[in-house]
Structure 1
Amino acid sequence: MSSPSVVSRLARTEAPTRPPGRTGGLAALLGLFGFLVSVAGSWQPSFWGDEAASVMSAERSIPGLFALLGNVDAVHGAYYLVLHVWIDLFGSSELSTRALSALAVGVATAGTFALARTLISTRVGVIAALVFAVLPRVTYMGAEARSTAIATAVAVWLTVLLVRLLRDRDLDAGTRFALWGGYSLLLAAGIYFFLYVLLLVPVLGLAVLLLTPNAGARMASLRAWVLATAAGLALAAPVMLASIEQRDQIAFIGRRPPIAVLTAAVYQWFGNTSLAILAWGLVLVAVVLVFAGLVVTGRGRFAVPMVESAGPNTRAALAVMLAWMILPSAALLIGTQLITPMYSLRYLSVCTPAAAIAIAVGIACLRPRWTQAAALVLIAALALPSYLDQRSEFGKNYGADLRQAAEVVRAGAQPGDAVVFDESVRPSRKPRLALHVYPDAFAGLNDVTLGRSFDSTDALWDVTLPLADVTDRLTGTDRVWVLQYEGSGENRRGDDIRSLQQLGFTVTSSTLLNRTLIIEMAR
């Protein structure tokens, strides 16, 4: 006799509402696991340009930071303020600043468990949290001094709160009103930390329609959600308006080659082709079994029984996760083609909880049980090369080497020496950034081409002058350290060297790192 369908079998076993259970300790343990995975080795790669922008902005005075945000980077303002306080407490090293993101990943890991457990089952929740913690996109953002990890944590807990409001019919009116107010605040906070949390609003609306268990309460829930969302958007209006005024900030995306859909499918969350094939295969397993209701019979015919404690809401839950994965990605890819450049692989980090839950549903379908553990081990094994690469010496931004360049200068320079930086590349790649994120290495050196320091302006970067215009600043200087970005314009680089040679300097040594060339010149 063949087995009953997945959905019908589980529908008979699921209670109308799932008792909360004592899973706080398990959530905390999984959160700790997520934190440890992300923080391990996070101090090894050098800072790169975007992280330098974070650190330099956060180290400004509060009035200076607000002056900056009025001109540029308003969309990162909330993160810069949090990082400002964090740096005051713990310093500005790679470990310190990235630990804030790793902590956010731990919070998001616990939230992924809580969401999957509430919607489907504890087993799926545990699997989802473990998958989430090792996904390459997660381990990347958990070791980077940027806002995406915090935004992801906010997004997943925002969804947990929404599900509670939809599912818990025992809340009194005052508590329900307070929780909807909290939902508005959390939505606004997510947008302040990362503007593209806005892309989740349609997904959350779909969740209201699909996850409200009582059809009679659906319209009431929808009305409450619309009002709470409107309030959240109103609170976030300042940053949304500022993003329109400062939209030229992401114009650089238009200078990059367009991202193909298949490329996004691999690198958006999964980091390498092998892991992407496995992950999408498990998502397909989940879709087929949940929506088609297939099972495996005892004689080995095609099917796989769904997770025990899931029930008729599994379809709705998986539909929401798929929408969370697909709709924001599609919006950015289509918008980039039709409106203006707006897509970057990192921008969809806020969708990783949904990807982890969809994968977890697929894993939980596997039989016999040992194959579930095998799938988790295989995911971790396939993610390992990406993880190790992210934590290598040159693991950021295709080989950032600001720290290594600073160490070369520290080892050779003496107080009174001059330093000249290549200014011919875009700001996020300028060797000059090493001066600000590793300042001890440049203590006592003469920054010859500095016009105004960044923290005395309302812009992100230093104002500099052409070397040819300030050669008088080298009077009395016998040695100069020139830091050049490999691949920058030969004409500009040649101009700096020629200007120094005309003053009587000659090359005495050079050190080529991953992408920075350090040239020592003496009279």
Structure 2
Amino acid sequence: MPRASAPRGATADPGRLGFAAVLVGVFAAVVSASGSWIPSLWGDEAASVLSALRPGESLLTMLTHVDAVHGAYYLGLHAWVHLFGSSPFVVRLPSAFAVAVCAAAVTWLCGRFGSLGFAVLAGTLTAILPRLTYAGEEARGYAFAAALAALLWIVVVELIRRPDSSRGWWVVYAVVLCIGIYVFLYLALLTLAVGVALALADGGRRRLKRWMIASAGAVIAASPVILLAVSQRQQIAFLAHRDRVTPIMVLVKMWFSARPFAVLAWTLIALAIVVWVRRRLRLRRQGEPSGLDLETVALAWLVVPTGILLAASPFVAGYTPRYGTIAAPAAAILIALGVWRLGDLHFGSGVPRSALAALAVVAVVVSAMPVWAAQRTPWAKNKSDWNDIAATIQRDAQQGDAIVFDDSVRPSRRPRLALDTDPAAFAGIADVTLETSYADSTTWHSSVYSVAETARLGRFAGVSRVWVVEYARNGDADSTAIPDLEALGYRQAERITLHTSVVLLFTR
């Protein structure tokens, strides 16, 4: 096939490209890991951490009941925390490494179509893209899904660039796809995007048969997690009532987080698409083969899986912008293409082309910085203030005090998770309402008694001080625990208002 079109220059030398990809990966890891220890963990991360902390047999049992789609990530994190601990920085660090792999893979992929400079630009923009800097500081599997998606496209491009691809490459494709499905179920939708790229590539139809066989093999190998996910589909049914697909969700929150960054990003993406369409139309008029270009790869990667998920959202359990993480590298590539094409535009002899491209890069970096900083504030994760709860109890509680948590809110906001994720801060405090710990259940939630039930069990005997941690709705603490404690003869002695929680001290 003809050489794929390159953005201003020949394709990069593989040796130099590999070295550059490593450097970009290191940069991406530093960007994602920096400040990742600052925000409190939140509900979804608690699911990861508490699952990883369970004994191996208990974790496997849990996955047959809930969260099978996250099983591969939980198993990997299980090994990680048993080696290095479970502090916020430690549990988030693997995600930073995954973004590093993603940025390095994008650098390599773009270097197979364009110059070394363009490849480094694309990888760097991947490293600072808001959706990926968020995924890189979160203890969830989305960063790994993005990395596997980028690696899958590297394999696909190598398959297309080699007219007589060996079966070994197709085996690699099937293995990467299968692993990707285990890590993030919806990554299976990338098979359709790959089919689009193969159909548009010269001689692509000859590869479609092998693509179908390899894709089917990967899906069959991943069928255990697919079947478990179907059986557990009610677990995320609540999203259908909580998250509505809106233009802001798609155009801003999906990949760009803030409107200034989104406006700039979509402007550059639109420029890349316009230049691409004009070039393909010109080649068609001239009767020349267009080959497979990077824009085709990036657009198929961006549009196909995301479009299917958005189209299906009214009929299946709700959509969350984090599902778009697998397509985030494609958005970064298109932004890089827009920057590079900006250098090809003519604005008169007085305006250097390179200066325009450099100005666009500066604008992208500057608009990304406030988003990156906001992601690393103490309450950035769903307004979670578990660090504050733990610090308050550790500072003010006394040996022999009891503690009661508000369990009336949805599971991801329960302040009890502050104890579960940081038990050392609550050492010496009696968790009097606990019935069954999460570690002994088939989910990652603990079951608890009410205050009245706890009193009937005699657990308040000899307890003169009780701490109550409430999730504050509009600043109000309104669970049934308070009147039940007052009925037992306790009176409020202290109130400490935190970001989204209220800590109350009751004494007899």
2:89 aligned with 1:95: yes
In the alignment, the residues of structure 2 paired with residue 418 and residue 158 of structure 1 have an alpha-carbon distance, to the nearest angstrom, of: 52
Deviation, structure 1 residue 334: 1.8
- The 3-state SS of whatever aligns with 1:369 is helix
Equivalent position of 1:196 in the other structure: 186
Task: Name the residue aligned to 2:317.
Answer: 341
Q: Who is 2:217 aligned against?
A: 231
Question: Distance in 1 between the 2:117 and 2:291 partners?
Answer: 13
Q: Residue in 2 aligned with 1:51?
A: 45
Aligned 8 A contact 2:25 2:101 in 1:
yes
Instruction: Provide the C-alpha distance between the structure 2 equivalents of 1:9 and 1:219, rounded to a whole number of angstroms.
Output: 17
Match of 2:274 among 268, 281, 288: 288
Name the amino acid aligned to 1:376.
V
Instruction: Tell me which of 210, 215, 221 is aligned to 2:207.
Output: 221
Kept in 1: contact 2:7–2:113 (CA 8 A)? no
- Note closer, same or farther for the CA distance 1:120–1:133 as it changes in structure 2 (3 Å cut): same
> 2:338, 2:7 → 1: CA distance?
21
TM-superposition CA deviations, 1:368-404 (whole Å, max 9, x none):
112222211111111111111100111111x110111
Distance 2:396 2:146 in 1: 43
Deviations 1:131-152 (A, max 9, x none): 1111110100000000000111
* Counterpart position of 1:384: 369
Please name the residue that 1:321 is paired with: 298
Paired residues for 1:247-266 under 5 Å? 247-266=233-252
* Kept in 2: contact 1:48–1:396 (CA 8 A): yes
**What residue number does 1:353 align with?**
329
Residue number among 197, 205, 228 corresponding to 1:207 in the alignment: 197
Tell me what 1:110 maps to.
104
SS in 1 for 2:39: coil
Q: Distance in 2 between matches of 1:419 and 1:365?
A: 61
Q: Is the 8 A contact 1:424 1:488 kept in 2?
A: no
What SS class does the counterpart of residue 51 from structure 1 fall into?
helix
State the Cα distance separating 1:13 from its structure 2 match: 9.7
How many Å apart are 1:492 and its aligned residue? 5.9
SS in 2 for 1:119: coil
Q: Give the aligned partner of residue 298 of structure 1.
A: none
- Work out which of the residue numbers 355, 364, 372 in structure 2 matches 1:370: 355
- Structure 2 regions of 5+ residues with no counterpart? 281-287, 344-352
Task: Report if the CA contact (8 A) 1:120-1:313 is conserved.
Answer: no
User: Aligned equivalents of 2:191 and 2:395: distance in 1?
Assistant: 52
Deviations 1:250-308 (A, max 9, x none): 112122151213431111000111111111111111111121139xxxxxxxxxxxxxx
Distance change >3 Å, CA 223–CA 236, structure 1 → 2: same
Q: 2:7, 2:368 → 1: CA distance?
A: 38
Partner of 1:184: 174
19 and 208 in structure 1: CA distance in 2 versus 1, 3 angstrom threshold: farther
Q: CA deviation at 1:10?
A: 6.6
Give yes or no for contact 1:137–1:271 (8 Å, CA) kept in 2: yes
Q: 1:141-156 maps to which residues of 2 (within 5 A)? A: 141-156=135-150
| 1:340 Cα offset (Å) | 1.9
Aligned residue for 2:74? 80
Contact 2:398 2:429 in 1 (8 A): yes
| Aligned equivalent of 1:268 | 254
Contact 1:291/1:315 (<8 A) preserved? no
One-letter amino acid matched to 2:334? A
Distance, in Å, in 2 between the alignment partners of 1:198 and 1:36 is 30
Query: Where does the alignment leave 5 or more consecutive residues of structure 1 unmatched?
Result: 1-6, 295-310
Q: Give the TM-score normalised by structure 2.
A: 0.92
Indicate the residue corresponding to 1:507 in structure 2. 492
Q: Deviations over 1:48-76 (max 9, x none)?
A: 01101100000111100000001000000
Tell me the CA shift for residue 219 of structure 1: 3.1
Q: 1:407 aligns with which of 391, 395, 399?
A: 391
Residue equivalent to 2:350: none
Please, what is the CA RMSD of the aligned residues?
A: 2.4
State the partner residue of 1:423: 407
What is the aligned length? 489
Per the alignment, residue 332 of structure 1 pairs with 309
How far apart, CA to CA, are the structure 2 residues paired with 1:14 and 1:476?
A: 79
TM-score, normalising length: structure 1: 0.89
Q: CA deviation at 1:503?
A: 1.6
Deviation at 1:183, TM superposition (A): 1.4
Change (3 A) 1:142 1:406: same
